[in-house]
Chain A
Amino acid sequence: MGFDLLSELPKLLWLVIGVAGFLAVFGVLLLAVDRGPRTRREWWQAACFLGPAALLLLVGLVYPVVRTTVLSFMDGPGQAWVGLRNYAWMFTRPEILVVLRNTLLWVLVAPALATATGLVYAVLVDRARYESLAKSLLFMPMAISFVGASIIWKFVYAHRPAGSDQIGLLNQVWTLLGGEPRLWLLDQPLNTLLLIVILIWIQAGFAMVILSAAIKAIPTDIIEAARIDGVSPLQLFWRVTLPMIWPTVAVVLITISVQTLKVFDIVRTVTGGQFSTSVIANEMYNQAFRYGELGQGSALAVFLFVLVVPLVLIQIRSTRRSREAQ
């Protein structure tokens, strides 16, 4: 089927309706602000402008959180109370323990390596020739969706029997070095590490861009002073650059950690969660939507939520602190 403008017309119309709806809401809102009481005007304005956002937050965030938490204490179809059984299940079933272990592995390895890669790259290309070209090379994978990147890497890890042409880059290199073609995605925990490489490939560019900007923001007089004192490049990095950009590094680390905790697409696309590579987000989807085990899926979701909250709190606190420092 080719692209037929006429058959796409309803979609375009929906778009117009969407935009018009947005404008209508906005217009009505402004009208309400305008017609509001003359007394306590600030309060009225604040209520009008914050109200819709608060309402959406309530419907889209608070309500689901409460409902999911309630469901996590109920059975599969969400009809009877089971107390803490779902949580007990989560921490005793061997395959769920593997899921928790994998998530831990992801959180420990992926943010650190992605940030480190981005940082080293940013330092190395800083003020080098063709800096922008070098930076855009690392940044480009950011433009690829997780699923797209996963499909690309699935080909990299592909396997063909010994003797035939390898279509997977990794096995091609491996056989050139004299190895037998391997089924890379089968052996745990190596397979989880290979999946983590995909996330690093996507996220290192993000870390690099942010950190590079932070490095450029270091006042040159500090660096010159250090140079006059005769530091080696390594000393400059450890004693001056890194401490100066540490708040930014922390923000990048936390952002990628949150990304990592909710990783889903990579695992689902490359292995489908098989071969002991599943992670919490994946298992949550499986339990709740594929197996109809709402209780167990919700328990996993709540656990994931609990893991993310401290990271978000740290993020908020560090942003507030850096704002106060300015």
Chain B
Amino acid sequence: MAPSPTPTTTSPSARRAPLAAARRPARAAGAALLPLVLLASGCGYLAGETGGGGADPGSAACEPYAQWQDIGGSVEMYGPIRDDEAERLRQAWQEFSDCTGIAIDYEGSGEFEAQIQVKVDGGNAPDIAIFPQPGLLARFVESGDALPLPDGAADLAREGWTEDWLSYVEHDGELYATPQASNVKSLVWYSPTVFEENGYEVPRTWDAMIDLSDTMAGDGLKPWCAGIESGEATGWPATDWLENAVLREHGPDVYDQWVEHEIPFDDPKIVESLERVDGILRNPDYVNGGHGGVKSIATTSQQDAGLPVNEGECGMYMMGSFYAANWPEDTDISEGGDIYAFNLPAIDEEVGTPIVGGGEFAAAFTDRPEVVAVQEYLATVGFADSRASLGRWFSAHRDADLELLENPIDRLSAELLRDPDVVFRWDGGDNMPAAVGSGTFWRGMTDWINGKGTEETLTYIEDSW
């Protein structure tokens, strides 16, 4: 930094001449004032920087937004969605912003889970935050920071989504957030081409799936690949396996009891389910197609893990619907193409195939009129369709237009989610206390892959709760 030009009290000229001494305070005052002026004008420029919208509020395109006109202002939004996906989000509400003059200032962060707490504690809460986990939102509901949905938005949400969905953001009879994106985590990715060439058939039961795995192993194809490395979230794909197995083997009631800690984490039923997963994930004959031995699961990234399916080195990969974005660009994802997915088959016919899934919720920390308007807009099917038409996104909204979903996996998932007969359960880990759901559960499953005993692992997680 350059030294300050400010004259100091020991300036030699000042010491010598009394006349100069009289001028000295004036010079010092000038030196102090100049930066202050700079400061004020700079801040003024930044404050007046926000630009206005361009669309004509009276035009036909603005018809759907008529109720929110004449509000204006700007809304600060914070969420875990970044880069390309954040850009699509901005595009999705662009028309709303243009027509109503309400600017939505979205900021995405890879550290959302940790930073939202810091922001709220520091008095810097955003107007609206997009939560990827209802458990995290519940923390802010308890502390009184998050506000219940305004009536308009709550009515829209109740019209649009099933009870199963809304139950995750309902506290004491009040809704706190509107569902946004959704995903399905019970999918098994496979290659229809490879299946056809070898005469394999998509299994309808868990036992058939194990038989198929044995057949593949006999043919010299590793039937499964997996990878749980995901930075500080390492371990979560393995928890999805356990959650799916518990839900399919023992049904939604036991699943709920387990997630809410009404039965111990290491209940014999859960041990039974993890042993079932053990038969696949830690079976050296079954894994890890294209990546090495069982333990390579721990160091293979969740993004890379499924790619050998496309190269014919691995038979099946269980991963959520969002994995569609990870395949190479020219991959034909369709029922008869290179890659497709089936719903993880039923273990118990009476339980059937309930869905484990997840998604995002938008909740507000303030209730200014423009924030309420955005909350209402986010709850409309119009927003869901607007965002869905931009690709790689689908909502579980009942009236969402499936024709807009260009990706067949998104369509398959959306169909599964809106089927009134299908039972939906949120990814259990997200609803456990964070220290368990994103702490010891992930860590325990990682250690389990690395060779720790099944019961020992579950007891370790139980002890941490």
Contact = CB atoms under 8 A, between A and B. Distances in A.
B139 interface: yes
Given A30-B6, A34-B28, A291-B434, A274 B234 contact: yes
B28 A293 contact: no
Nearest to B118: A289
Judged by DSSP, the binding face of B is helix
Interface in A180-210: 181, 183, 185-186
Nearest to B451: A186
A289 B114 contact: yes
B43 interface: yes
B291 to A, nearest CB: 6
B46 A23 contact: no
B435 A287 contact: yes
A262 interface: no
Given A27-B31, A185-B299, 17 more contacts: A10-B46, A20-B35, A21-B35, A24-B36, A27-B4, A27-B33, A28-B32, A31-B32, A34-B28, A35-B25, A76-B435, A77-B139, A268-B232, A275-B447, A286-B439, A287-B435, A292-B434
Interface in A2-46: 10, 13-14, 16-17, 19-24, 26-28, 30-31, 33-35
Interface in A287-314: 287, 289-293
Contacts of B36: 20, 24
B182 interface: no
A27 B231 contact: no
A287 B438 CA distance: 11
A291 B114 CA distance: 8
A95 B49 contact: no
A273 interface: yes
Contacts, number: 127
Judged by DSSP, the binding face of A is helix
A293 B4 contact: no
Contact of A30 (B9, B46, B291): B9
B295 interface: yes
A285 B113 CA distance: 12
B279 interface: no
Contacts of A13: 42, 45-46
A93 B8 CA distance: 59
Interface of B: 1, 4, 6, 8-9, 24-25, 28-29, 31-36, 38-39, 42-43, 45-46, 49, 113-114, 117-118, 139, 143, 231-235, 290-293, 295-296, 298-299, 433-435, 438-440, 443, 446-447, 450, 460, 464
B20 to A, nearest CB: 13
A20 B28 contact: no
A76 to B, nearest CB: 8
Contacts of A291: 433-435, 438-439
Q: Considering residues A16, A21, A33, A290, which has the most beta carbons from chain B within 10 angstroms of its beta carbon?
A: A290
A94 B460 contact: yes
13 contacts: A10-B46, A17-B39, A20-B35, A23-B4, A23-B31, A26-B4, A27-B34, A30-B31, A31-B32, A160-B292, A161-B291, A275-B446, A291-B434
Nearest to A296: B435
